Chains A and B, each alone.
Chain A
Amino acid sequence: MKKFTKAVLASSVLVASLMSATAARADTATADARANILQQVTVNSDGSALDFGTIVTGAAASTVSVSAGGRSCGAGLVCSGTTSAAGFDVTGTAGETVSVASDPTVTLTSGTNSMTANIVASASTLTLTGGTGSFNVGGLLNVGANQADGAYEGSFNVTVNYN
């Protein structure tokens, strides 16, 4: 809650300061520049990470998928713990259309062991109805046969592209 309030405050403060800065130099700036400066975009993580929970491996290769709808645990695996898809909130001009892109795959490593996951964003284009939009990023984890135990880590890119 605290974080959310802060984010809202922060963006309103910047708008206010930009407005006063614009007014102060109105005699030198052109009309084009003035209007453009007020258009802003924010991207916030909603606090949830892409989390596959805890997985106990099996003798055969299998997969675990996680989306906003929940988890699907492949044959031969035991899954436990809570899962989540990574969530993002975007704010900008009302009615703006933006595109969302993510890395198609990511490699996770734990020491010398590794596995791959496919990354899937819930939307490839987003319309900021009323100035806000949100999307989430889920994944499909490819678990090898007798995948070694451990804490696997990796990172992937998610980008909001403005036209």
Chain B
Amino acid sequence: MTNQAFRALKSCCIGLTGLATAMMMTSAPAQAAGDLLVAPTRVVLDGDRGTEVILNNIGSETATYRISLELRRMTPDGRLEEVSEDEANAMEQAAKAMIRYAPRRVTLPPNQPQAIRLGVRAPEGLADGEYRVHLLFRAIPEARSVTDREVPDGGFTIALTPIYGVTIPVIVRYGNLQATAAIANGRMEKDADGQSFAFDLSRSGDRSTYGEIRITKPGVDEPVMIARGIAVYPEVTKRTVSLPVSPDIAAQLNGPVTVAYYEAANDGGALIAKSDMVIR
């Protein structure tokens, strides 16, 4: 099966995705170890109380994972960009210094969960603010033995190993912090991959906002679409949010709509911002 056929199959019938995935697996050698599960996907620490994050090896082979603290900055289009050690500002360095966690490296057999303990030790005289690091979970690839390599007769071959992982934000709020947000300029956008509903999400105050976007039509309770995990971090005052939509949802996003930004249910679910707009 070609990759193109696989993609087409996937987009036309989600029910067959599992089957297609299984078929691809039998045709390709399963050489990747390091599949992983992380829960929760976001940590907010207040005060000195710590918490735990679960890491589970969901691959079929024993794997060694490394856990590290990374810095990320949000870009105006809402992506998280890597920040190197040299580029880190005072706030980011302070954030990295105050987070304690263990273990930092763990070898797990398949289906073996491990709790990673997280704590915070705020230095004396710490300025009020929101401090953030991103906890990175990543499998260390196994070294390949030399005999496994096939050296071709003339020409060359390439073996590129992906090292893949997940980051989750770890946020420490110090002091009494406030933030508000506003939604503006809702519009439909079109590119090679299809249509997206986009809008500008601005933020003011001294902390981030996080929650879900619900788009409703007047007189209809059920949202046309919900997008979860939408954040605006303190390093940006305004970002664009671009949500890919299927053709049938795109057809409904026409005329008057309400775009609302709610806190996540487990943060209280309060309304952060709301805007009525007309999409043309």
Contacts and interface: CB of A to CB of B under 8 A. Distances in A.
B32 A49 contact: yes
A54 interface: yes
B163 to A, nearest CB: 5
A77 to B, nearest CB: 9
B159 A161 contact: no
Interface residues of B, number: 85
A4 B18 contact: yes
B181 interface: no
Contacts of B13: none
A97 B229 CA distance: 6
A120 interface: no
A46 B27 CA distance: 11
B60 interface: yes
Contacts, number: 276
Interface string B133-164: 01010100100100001111011111111111
Contact of B164 (A93, A94, A157, A162): A157
A24 interface: no
State which size class the interface on A falls in.
35 or more
Contact of A41 (B38, B154, B266): B38
Nearest to A153: B159
A61 interface: no
B35 A162 contact: no
Contact of A153 (B6, B31, B59, B161): B161
Interface in A60-111: 68-70, 78, 81, 84-89, 92-99, 101, 106, 108, 110
B182 interface: no
B188 interface: no
Contacts of A54: 152, 155-157
B37 A11 contact: yes
B228 A43 contact: no
Contacts of A36: 40, 42-43, 266
B41 A101 contact: no
Nearest to B29: A47
Contacts of B42: 36, 39, 162-163
Contact of A97 (B17, B151, B166, B227): B227
A92 B164 contact: no
B234 interface: no
B2 A89 contact: no
Contacts of A97: 227-230, 243
A151 B157 contact: yes
Contact of B160 (A4, A34, A45, A155): A155
Contacts of B229: 93, 95-98, 162-163
Nearest to B31: A49
A27 interface: no
A160 interface: yes
B7 A40 contact: no
Interface of B: 2-4, 6-7, 10, 14, 17-18, 21-22, 24-26, 28-32, 34-43, 51, 54, 56-60, 72, 78-82, 110-111, 113, 134, 136, 138, 141, 144, 149-152, 154-169, 210, 212, 225-231, 242-244, 265-267
Interface of A: 1-4, 6-7, 9-11, 13-14, 17-18, 31-57, 68-70, 78, 81, 84-89, 92-99, 101, 106, 108, 110, 117, 124-125, 127, 130, 132, 134, 136-137, 139, 141, 147-163
